Amino acid sequence: MAKGMREIKRQIKSIQNTRQITKAMEMVAAAKLRRAQEKAQSSRPYAEKLKEVVDGIAAGTTGISHPMLVTRPVKKTAYIVITSDAGLAGGYNANMLRAVMDRIKATHTSKEEYGIFVVGRKGRDYFRRRELPVVDEVTELSDSPTFADIKSLAYAAVRSFEDEQFDEIYICYNKFINAITQVPTINRLLPFEKPVASASGVKASYEYEPSPESVLQVLLPKYAETIIYGALLEGKASELGAKMTAMGNATKNASKMIGELTLTYNRARQAAITQEITEIVAGANAQS
């Protein structure tokens, strides 16, 4: 019995140490999540204004054309998949990768029909193990990524569409709802839908130098790259939210296990004391 009680005490101590770690990780993720949310929110006004300008040029200028506005027959599709470098984030990566694989299986019959641009070590390793066509990758990102961290991948993806290596591009990321809910999202990035000029409302009139076509030539790739970066920030906020929730659940489970083991230990200790008292009483009765 003494040996069993020592084992229970060691197990309680081990779980207490684990609980301290998960609690610390939960608090760190919560602090980083606030910063990630602020960064994601601060990037939205720039993307919205850029979209407004792009829509204004594309809809308000007759005869304007750009490869990113042209829908062509789809022979090959690209997917930009955003995952994390580390685990311990609940179903964050598994849900995203499952959604991507479901779409690939439902849409394509051959590996020649698609390519994958992947962000994060988890996604990269997942696709490599299955020998899927990874075109480009970015890993080892910080919890507060900058546009420079993803610029090369974003440029390569947009350029591959302009060069007609791919006929459409989808961006796949976890949309942040709150710390508990992250929704795997797959949206078409390219080609853009050409906006239609609205007949109602008064809108500002702009003059573009040297020409609307030249401005659009520069802005459309920048806008596509901005969308990719915004999806990365959403994904990072989702990752930290999932990690905070997962570590919170782990801490609660550890506390529950400690409570159950403590109850078992107390019962075993009470049984041992009762047995000792019984043996003492029996010995005294035998001597009398």
Helix (H) or strand (E) holding 78, with range, is: strand 77-82
Closest CA to 188 of 212, 157, 214, 163: 157
Q: Distance between CA 43 and CA 231 in Å, rounded? A: 10
Give yes or no for residue 115 having a pLDDT over 90: yes
Lowest-confidence segment of 92-101, 122-131, 215-224 by average pLDDT = 215-224
> Positive or negative CA dihedral for 115, 120, 124, 126?
negative
Give yes or no for residue 103 having a pLDDT over 50: yes
Q: How far is CA 37 from CA 147, 178, 204, in A?
A: 16, 10, 32
Give yes or no for residue 219 having a pLDDT over 60: yes
Residues 6+ apart with CB under 8 A from 80: 117, 118, 119, 153, 157, 169, 170, 171, 172, 189, 228, 231
Give yes or no for residue 202 having a pLDDT over 70: no
**CATH code of the domain made up of 27-196+205-245:** 3.40.1380.10
- For residue 280, the model assigns a pLDDT of 77
| Two structure tokens written together for 199 | 């007949």
Start-to-end C-alpha separation, the chain: 29
| Two structure tokens written together for 188 | 């078409």
Backbone angles phi, psi at 240, to 5 degrees: -70, -35
- The answer to whether the CB of 38 falls within 8 A of the CB of 233 is no
- Please indicate whether residue 213 or residue 249 has the higher confidence score (pLDDT): 249
Residues 6+ apart with CB under 8 A from 48: none
Please provide the DSSP assignment of 114-161 as one string: EEEEEESHHHHHHHHHTT--EEEEE----SS--HHHHHHHHHHHHHHH
Q: Which of 26-30, 51-55, 189-193 has the highest mean pLDDT?
A: 26-30
- The answer to whether the CB of 237 falls within 8 A of the CB of 35 is no
Tell me the domain boundaries of the chain.
27-196+205-245
- For residue 25, the model assigns a pLDDT of 92
| Two structure tokens written together for 184 | 């795997």
> Which residues are bridge partners to 136 per DSSP?
117
